[in-house]
Chain A
Amino acid sequence: MSPLDQPQAPTELFTLVDVCVVRDGKQVLSHITDHFHEGHATALVGPSGSGKSTLLRLLNRLEKPTSGRIYFQGAPLENLDVHILRRRVGLVGQQAVMLAATVEQEVSYGSPDLSEAAVRHLLSRVKLDDLPLDQSTAALSGGERQRLALARALAVDPQVLLLDEPTSSLDTKAAEAVDQVIKDLVHEGLSVVLVSHDLDRAAAVTDDALVLDKGTLVDRGDPRSVRYLVE
């Protein structure tokens, strides 16, 4: 067994060993080696084009590394059934696209057997208690959509949520409401990896940050003290 096959800390949530992504001849991520802790909220920060979204998408296998290894709780990512992995590692994108016509259908999209009580419980976890179950998803505000997308992701009972700029398209008030929901979820024991180009926003939600620049990991630590230069 080569050293690369043995993660340094198998109990970590995610361990990345010398991960590179090359796309169209361009190095999107170069030689990333680091890990994410279980039960924490970790931020991936950096300017646009720094590779943070690509890194996030590697974690639920929406993208594949060109070289290097990724481990989830000690197991090589590619050894896990991808469908089971994605139910354990949920992802909510920037736009919070709605997949169904009504609130109830939206929440239960990935788990159609969900009871009405379970749907209501999920809605209360994302502070959408007042939303009628038969409400049309087309009529929801951006902030409501984002929280509904969180409820939809939580419905399949993941251990980790990957969040790609969840508040970047929202106004301050809606963004703060989403941030509060994320903080509560982490407090309940969920692990979160959050992509943000805004270090202050990330600092409001997370206690740990990886700073990326041009595909390279440039700093790691408390989001209030990491080195992050915006050109």
Chain B
Amino acid sequence: MGETANIPSWLGVAASVLLVLLALSVSVRYRLGLTRELAVAAVRAFVQLLAVGALLLIVFERGGLLAAFGWLAIMVVIGGFVAGRRAAQLPRGVHSAMAAIAIAVGVTLGVLLAFRVVAATPEVVIPVGGMVVSGAMAASALTLRRVQESARDQRERVEARLSLGLTTAEAFAPEEREAVRTALIPAIDSTKVVGLISLPGAMTGLILAGVAPLDAIRYQIVVMYMLLSAASLASFLSAKFAHRSLFADGARLVPIGASPVTMVR
């Protein structure tokens, strides 16, 4: 495949620097004050991708499957931090996000590998796993953000339910459901319009690499379905884990956006 694929040579890459110069000239011409930032972004993209390419080469040639799963684990940790920090006032937000993303990725990728839908090789596990992680991360971030808002803004509502003797799970269930619903809308929408508005990444990549369109879409269908699973699981689990950290002993809703009652002496 590599031989037949229509991939730019390094000379081609050098020529594409002309396009960066074009972007820079716009900034200079209109005094946008973005010249430096544009140049830095272009250089950063080059360096980052070069580093990732080199690392991937090492993993593919020497590391094997174990290194690929190690790579995936690092992505899960980074994803957990990114999603958890979207809800910085939530107690143990990063923990909730990381655990939810890890399980969502584990289950989704596990199903794909167990049924041999995708091959268990580093060349597949890393990019496919990366897509699963980013889908799970986006859903987890949206869910936690919404849970945080509810715990802060719907406090009276939740405490009114607690005051009727409802359990914390019952008292927070409507907010939890709404958070998961909201978080899943982007994943559902992008599944609905796939192919209509944009040609998605996996399919584009395969077509660029010379794969026949009807073969490329099979991969894309699997990708869309796995993203639905990753988003649903990550959102549901994020809400569950966040719910646990929202209530203290004695079924009290902890204060959000303020530190809890401290011990005297």
Question: How near does chain A come to B170, taking the closest CB pair, in angstroms?
Answer: 10
CB-based contact A97/B250 at 8 Å: no
Top 3 nearest A-B pairs by Cβ distance?
A: A110-B164, A87-B165, A91-B163
Chain A residue with minimal CB distance to B174?
A99
Q: Does B264 touch A at the CB level, under 8 Å?
A: yes
Q: Which residue of chain B has the shortest Cβ distance to A26 in the bound complex?
A: B262
* Partner-A contacts on B (CB < 8 A): 156-157, 159-167, 248-253, 258-265
User: In angstroms, how far is the closest chain A Cβ from the Cβ of B262?
Assistant: 6
1/0 per residue A54-73: CB within 8 Å of B? 00000011111011000000
- Note all chain B residues with C-beta closer than 8 A to A92: 160, 163
Nearest Cβ distance between residue A204 and chain B, in whole angstroms? 24
Task: Tell me the A107-154 residues at the B interface (CB within 8 Å).
Answer: 109-110, 149, 152-153
Complex CA gap A99/B250 in Å reads 22
How close is A231's CB to chain B, nearest CB, in angstroms?
A: 25
The SS class assigned to the B binding surface is loop
Whether the pair B262, A23 counts as a contact (CB closer than 8 A) is yes
Q: Choose from A63, A90, A152, A156 the contact partner of B261 (Cβ within 8 Å).
A: A63
Could you say which residues of chain B place their CB within 8 Å of the CB of A90?
163-164
B-facing mask of A72-84, CB < 8 A → 1, else 0? 0000001000111
* Structural contact, B157 and A97, CB atoms closer than 8 A: yes
Q: A23-B259, A92-B163, A153-B163 are in contact. List 13 more A-B contacts (CB 8 A).
A: A22-B264, A62-B162, A62-B252, A62-B253, A64-B261, A66-B264, A78-B250, A82-B250, A84-B165, A93-B156, A94-B156, A95-B156, A110-B164
Taken residue by residue from 185 to 203, chain A's Cβ proximity to chain B (1 for < 8 Å, 0 otherwise) reads as 0000000000000000000
Chain B residues, CB < 8 A from A149: 160
- Give the shortest distance, in Å, between A183 (CB) and chain B (any CB): 22
Most chain A CB inside 10 Å of its own CB: which residue of B157, B167, B264, B265: B264
A179 to B113, CA, bound (A): 67
Across the interface, which residues of B come within 8 angstroms of A22, CB to CB?
Answer: 261-264
Give Cα A95–Cα B253 distance, bound, in whole angstroms: 18
Q: Residue of A at shortest CB range from B248?
A: A64
Residues of B within 8 Å of A63, CB to CB, are 252, 261
Q: What distance in Å separates the Cβ of A160 from its nearest Cβ neighbour in chain B?
A: 12
